[in-house]
Amino acid sequence: MTQTAARKQGYTATVVASCFAVLLAQVAYSLPGALNGTLQQEFQTTGAELTWVTAAFAIPMVVFELTTGVIGDLFGRKRLLQVGALLTVAGSLVSYLAETVQILWVGQVVAGLGAAILYPISLAMLAAVSPSQEARSKAIALWAGFLSIGAAISPLMGGWLAAEGNWRTSYLVVITAAVASIVITQFAADSSTPEGRKLDMPGQVTLALGLIAILFAATQGSEAGFARPEIIGAFVAGLVLLGAFVVIELRTDVPLLHLNIFANRSYTIVAIATVVGMFAFLATCYSMSIWIGAIQHQSALKIGVLFLLIQGPAFVLVPVVSHLIRNFSPRWVLTVGFALIAVSGIWCSTFDIHDLSWTRFIAPMLALGAGFALTVGSITAVAINTVPLRLAGMASATTNLLRDFGFALGPVLIAAFAVSRANSDLSAGVGGAIGESGLGPPYADIAGGIAHGGGAMAINSMPVVPGAGPDLPPVPMPESLHVLAFESLGSAYSLGFLVAGLCAAAAAALTLFGLFGSKRAGVEEPLVDEELVPAGS
């Protein structure tokens, strides 16, 4: 075999391994989306406990992506990618065996650590082997397409198996895919760029603790109350730690994140729009799954079909997005993409919770998917093509961090907002609802206690309230109380859809006006100077 042929074979094998790795990561990440209703009824969770199923995966994924990028740069990416798949195996096995929601959280945390490796390392491997900037843009578009495939097939698979009564089997499928990823990666080309890179432990610790504190406060505050001292303390601690992270990164010789890339206006605008826009995208996805699954208690398979409609356009449009990335300003591509996400969220906010027709979600979910297709590939290409090749690991980890931080904020913040509002509405009307039902003591006290303790989600999922002791028969759940919880949740998540849509509209406006005059991303040569300021700015 000639050297050229060997290089081509190594490139092809690396592209296949990288695309399969991001497919695996997205399958593991997206799986709970269709299962929210099933998991809520299986484990009888409160609203915050259900949110933690997704947050437990997202938090370690976001927190450690920058560090895994550095580790890959230093010690090689191929073996690290296999470690990520192995962690996915371990986390999925724990989730498969989970008998309580707390054990399920543990499995999600371990799988999230695997994703923290798979996302940035797969992208860095693509950047390292691409022979030209055009080839890199094409490979990135393909990588984004496989990310979308994973996000499409995972909820569909989970929904179908849940409808058959075998939701745990979906985790066995993830385990099988992870083992396949380990085998496929064995044929990929290894790469590393250790020059000027080292582990930044002070930066990693402050970033990790800061993000964990803020996301914990946002999630737990939805039920405990945002005015509680521990929630306020967590927010303050998170902000202080993130401030310390910025100071550390500006002073260290070899930072975890080169903050001076944000001195470029266009790069900073895209970074902000990424976090806000990806928050809006996943907030809309999450709200749809909660609306149909956990509130209306419809089949998980219907949610899976809708997720397929969300991600289908992202894969179908891969060649279109690849062409747009190479030939048009990111200003227009990103603006149109975020605008479509905004249309989806605002459209869904007009729906009535009493209407059980799930097909009305088809059109807005298609718009959401098209918007995601236009934005995710463009964001990635802008980030990768504006740094020297030797810093591709840092750039890929950074763009994954921004995107996934927005993803993590989506379910956490929208659930915090919606659950808090629904519980507030429930608390305000619970006395009247129980009074209308004619339920006498001690059963009225039992129903009221469950309403105040478990919140709207608990009431909505319980057709019968158990008696207070062995000598008391089951307590019929007052219909008026159930209706109050149902409508409170519907109203809260309608506002959640609206908030998501308005945030996406803000991201569209930011890219439309903020990127005015910027040149085409992915066409200029990447920089080679130490200031890391993108060319053409």
Is the bond preceding 466 in cis, omega lying within 30 degrees of 0? no
Looking at the DSSP bridge assignments, the partners of residue 464 are: 476
How many angstroms separate the CA atoms of 422 and 428, rounded?
10
User: What SS3 state is found at 222?
Assistant: helix
The pLDDT of residue 520 is 47
CA pair distance 94, 104, nearest whole angstrom: 7
The reported pLDDT for the residue numbered 530 is 39
- From first to last of the 537 residues of the chain, give the pLDDT tens digit: 554 554 666 788 999 999 999 999 989 988 887 787 788 778 877 777 887 888 889 888 888 887 888 888 888 899 999 999 999 999 999 999 999 999 999 999 999 999 999 988 998 898 888 877 777 777 877 887 788 788 778 888 888 888 787 889 999 999 999 999 999 999 999 988 777 667 788 988 998 899 889 888 877 776 667 788 999 999 999 999 999 999 998 888 877 777 776 766 777 788 889 899 999 999 999 899 899 988 998 888 888 889 888 877 766 776 777 677 667 777 788 899 999 999 999 999 999 999 999 999 999 999 999 998 888 777 766 666 655 555 555 565 677 678 878 888 888 888 888 888 888 877 776 655 554 544 445 445 555 555 555 567 777 776 544 444 444 445 555 677 778 788 889 999 999 999 999 999 999 999 888 877 655 444 343 433 333 333 333
Residue indicated by tokens 């750039």: 395
Phi (first) and psi of residue 523, to 5 degrees: -110, -40
CB 484 within 8 A of CB 452: no
Structure tokens at 383: 């980030």
Give pLDDT, residue 378. Answer: 75
pLDDT value of residue 518: 58
Cα 37–42–43 angle (5° rounding)? 105
Res 439: pLDDT:
46
Alpha carbon distance 281, 220 (integer Å): 22
Residue 471 has what pLDDT?
A: 44
Nearest residue to 173 via CA among 116, 58, 88: 88
Residue-by-residue DSSP string for 105-147? HHHHHHHHHHHHHHHHHHHHHHHHH-SSHHHHHHHHHHHHHHH
Among 297, 280, 38, 284, smallest CA distance to 159 is for 38
pTM, two decimals, is: 0.76
Contacts (Cβ under 8 Å, ≥6 apart) of 125:
14, 17, 18, 77, 78, 81, 188, 189, 191
Which among 29, 65, 25 has a CA at the least distance from the CA of 400?
Answer: 65
Helix ranges restricted to H, 130-196? 133-163, 169-185
Per-residue confidence (pLDDT) for residue 196, from 0 to 100: 61
DSSP conformation class of 312:
H
The token pair at 195 is 């020059």
Instruction: Supply the pLDDT for residue 35.
Output: 82
Q: What is the DSSP string of 459-478?
A: HHH-SEEPPSSTTSPPEEPP
Cα end-to-end span (Å), the chain: 43
